[in-house]
């Protein structure tokens, strides 16, 4: 399966997917990385792996629609089977999603449906949660609410800050996104990707 990854920042999730796709038996290949910021650190990492990159700086476009058209043109060239949003900090319009309905994945750093939106780790800590985690889901027109594909949980420790919790969640994000992409890109099967547990990872 041909995969295009959309990023806005460091692209650690994109890298995790690129590393997974490097395995011969992994059912996906990353055919392009698109960013809405020219300075996104993930672009250089993708280029270092020989992955074609495209950057469409939002401020270079007069409107959201014009910006999305530029991204959609690059997608038409790359002709992906799947699109993976990985740290892409922009909401997609219905017009963007429609042609790719059911083929766009996103990773969100909380156990949805808890804590959609931003500052998820701070909110989990303030809510007194004992666990946090991440969710890979299909993207629908609403924000962070599409069908869930895979999730992972990690403990929240008593002296956690949002930074220390974010670092712990990021580790399981990479494993969970790999799992989710393998499940969706792979042959249809009834196997349900198990929610990976914190115990699966040395923290």
**Considering only CA atoms, which of 170, 139, 174 is closest in space to residue 18?**
174
10 near ligand GRF (CB under 6 A)? yes
Tell me which H or E stretch contains 142: none
List 67, 108, 137, 174, catalytic entry: 108
- Rounded-to-integer distance, Cα 24 and Cα 22, Å: 6
Residue of the chain from 3, 4, 6, 7 that contacts ligand GRF (CB under 6 A): 7
Window of 12-20, 53-61, 93-101, 157-165 that interacts with ligand GRF by CB under 6 A: 12-20
Site string for ligand GRF, 79-98 (x = CB under 6 A): -------xx-----------
Give the 3-state secondary structure percentages of the chain, helix then strand then coil, rounded to 5.
Answer: 40, 20, 40
List the interface residues with ligand GRF, window 172-201 (CB under 6 A).
Answer: 173
Give the number of residues in contact with ligand GRF, rule: CB under 6 A.
14
CB 33 within 8 A of CB 2: no
Q: Does 146 bind ligand GRF (CB under 6 A)?
A: no
Cα dihedral 176, 37, 164, 18, rounded to 10, equals 30
Site string for ligand GRF, 21-50 (x = CB under 6 A): ---------------------x--------
Cα–Cα distance for residue pair 115/106, rounded to 1 Å: 15
Active site residue 137: no
Residue 179 annotated as lining a ligand binding site:
no
Helix 162-185 to helix 12-21 angle, to the nearest 10 degrees? 30
Residue 129 marked in a binding site: no
* Contacting positions for ligand GRF (CB under 6 A): 7, 9-14, 42, 86-87, 107, 109, 170, 173
- Residues annotated within the binding site are 11-13, 64, 89-92, 106
By annotation, the residues acting in catalysis are 108
């Amino acid at each position: 399966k041909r995969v295009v990854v959309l990023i806005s920042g460091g692209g650690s999730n994109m890298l995790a997917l690129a590393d997974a796709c490097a395995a011969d038996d992994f059912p996906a290949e990353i055919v392009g990385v698109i960013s809405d910021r020219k300075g996104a650190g993930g672009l250089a990492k993708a280029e270092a792996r020989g992955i074609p990159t495209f950057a469409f700086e939002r401020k270079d476009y007069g409107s959201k629609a014009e910006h999305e058209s530029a991204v959609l043109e690059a997608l038409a060239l790359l002709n992906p089977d799947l699109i993976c949003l990985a740290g892409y900090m922009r909401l997609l319009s219905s017009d963007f999603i429609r042609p790719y309905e059911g083929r766009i994945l996103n990773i969100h750093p909380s156990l949805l449906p808890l804590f959609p939106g931003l500052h998820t780790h701070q909110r989990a800590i303030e809510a007194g949660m004992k666990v946090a985690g991440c969710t890979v889901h299909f993207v629908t027109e609403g924000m962070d609410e599409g069908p869930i594909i895979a999730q992972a949980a990690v403990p929240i420790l008593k002296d956690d800050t949002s930074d220390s919790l974010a670092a712990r969640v990021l580790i399981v994000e990479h494993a969970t996104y790999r799992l989710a992409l393998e499940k969706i890109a792979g042959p249809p099967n009834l196997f349900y990707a198990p929610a990976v547990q914190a115990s699966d990872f040395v923290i």
